[in-house]
Structures are given as C-alpha cells and as structure tokens.
Chain A
Amino acid sequence: AQSVTQLGSHVSVSEGALVLLRCNYSSSVPPYLFWYVQYPNQGLQLLLKYTSAATLVKGINGFEAEFKKSETSFHLTKPSAHMSDAAEYFCAVTTSQTGANNLFFGTGTRLTVIP
C-alpha cells in the first residue's frame, strides 16, 4: 500500500517569499509522485511529477520538487511567491507504472499569499 502525508493544512507566506509545501510518502515499492494544484472552484492541474528519471523535478509556474529517498520526502518549493499562487496543493502517489494510474492523494495544503 502507498500513501502520502502533507504536513500543514494551511501555509501562509508573504508575496516574494519562499514557498515550501511538505509531502512525505510511504510505499513498499518505488513510488511515483505528483503535485497537483487546485484553484477555487476548479479541477486539479498537474504541477510536476517524479518518475525516477531525476530527483530534482521542475514544473510549471516556477515550482520544483526534490525526491529524497532517505527522507521519504517530495517537498514542493518556489523561490518567490506570487499572489496567483494562492490555491490548494495536493501531493499524490502511485506505484502503478502501467495501465490505470490510480493516484492516492494527501489531504492538501492551502497556500495563502499575503500582499
């Protein structure tokens, strides 16, 4: 079985400050990890994914995440927050490489950006 834990259901940062959203995974086999973003009243959009090719993954909108096996972590970062980054962020894991990739999501972290 696999799962992810997102530490902090709500994170607030000032505009221009570093964004750090935490995600730890649990998996008995090599995991594949994702970060999705959900803007208010919208569906989810993929930010980035780790598929074992490189441990540092760059995504859209200036976000990146680093896979650290020793820490079982996949934290999401952005050097400088923008007002438009305010949204709900979900970390997700799958161990299925073929067929239907059933994603198991964390409980989400709401990011607030303070002007």
Chain B
Amino acid sequence: DTAVSQTPKYLVTQMGNDKSIKCEQNLGHDTMYWYKQDSKKFLKIMFSYNNKELIINETVPNRFSPKSPDKAHLNLHINSLELGDSAVYFCASSQVVSLSEQYFGPGTRLTVT
C-alpha cells in the first residue's frame, strides 16, 4: 500500500524520443508536484497542480508537460528528450491546507543517451 508510486523506476532512452512517467497517490491528497533532482542532488520544483490550478516553474522547457487524468494521478510527459534531461524525477503530493507535508515517491531515474 505505497502512498506515492511512480513508474517506471528506471528509464533509458535516446535523444529525440518522447516518454512519460506515471505517478499515483492513494492518500486522497489534492495537490501533486513534480521535482527534478540533478546529478549533484539539487532538487528543483517543476510543477505543482491541483484541481484548480497548474503552477509551472518558468525555467521548465515547454517540452515537459504534466497531465492529470484524475486527482490521484499526475503524469509527466517529455517530448524531444535531450541529454540534459537525464536526472531523477520525483513526484510528490500533499493536502491543500496550510503547510501540509509533501509525500514523495521513490523517484524515476531517467537516462538519455
């Protein structure tokens, strides 16, 4: 009964391809997030999304797009993959209440060759 799950755990692909990473949470949370952790372990928010608004970090290329089929899922689509996209991507979720804890998934390690 994993709280926040991501698939796949590892993803190896070639430059130029389009790929998706799936995220699901069974905590009944209202808000979900995507973070990127680079090779130096630096974590950066990419998106936050609830049923009312999508907040996009302005530094994220428009090749990245979140898609939410329902409250429990927030998938990450990446078009035209580049070498610099190689990183670990974390999904997280929280309640839309004041300063609630974010629960993180186990991460997806994306390698672009």
What per-residue 1/0 map shows which CB atoms of B25-66 lie under 8 Å from chain A?
Answer: 000000101000000111111001110010100000000000
Of the listed stretches A11-19, A21-29, A68-76, A102-110, chain B binds A102-110
B101 lies within 8 A of A102 (CB): no
Which of B44, B49, B90, B107 is within 8 Å of A100, CB to CB? B49
- Assembled-state Cα–Cα distance A48/B102 (Å): 12
- Assembled-state Cα–Cα distance A68/B44 (Å): 25
Task: Count A-B contacts at CB 8 Å.
Answer: 68
What per-residue 1/0 map shows which CB atoms of B87-113 lie under 8 Å from chain A?
Answer: 000101010101111101111000000
Which of B42, B53, B90 is within 8 Å of A108, CB to CB? B42
What per-residue 1/0 map shows which CB atoms of A35-66 lie under 8 Å from chain B?
Answer: 01000011111100101000000000000000
* Interface size, chain A (Cβ < 8 Å): 25
Q: Which residues of B contact A45 (CB under 8 A)?
A: 104
Measured CB to CB, the residues of B under 8 A from A are 4, 31, 33, 40-45, 48-50, 53, 55, 90, 92, 94, 96, 98-102, 104-107
11 pairs from A and B in contact (CB 8 Å cutoff): A42-B106, A42-B107, A43-B106, A44-B90, A44-B92, A46-B101, A99-B31, A100-B53, A101-B99, A105-B43, A107-B40
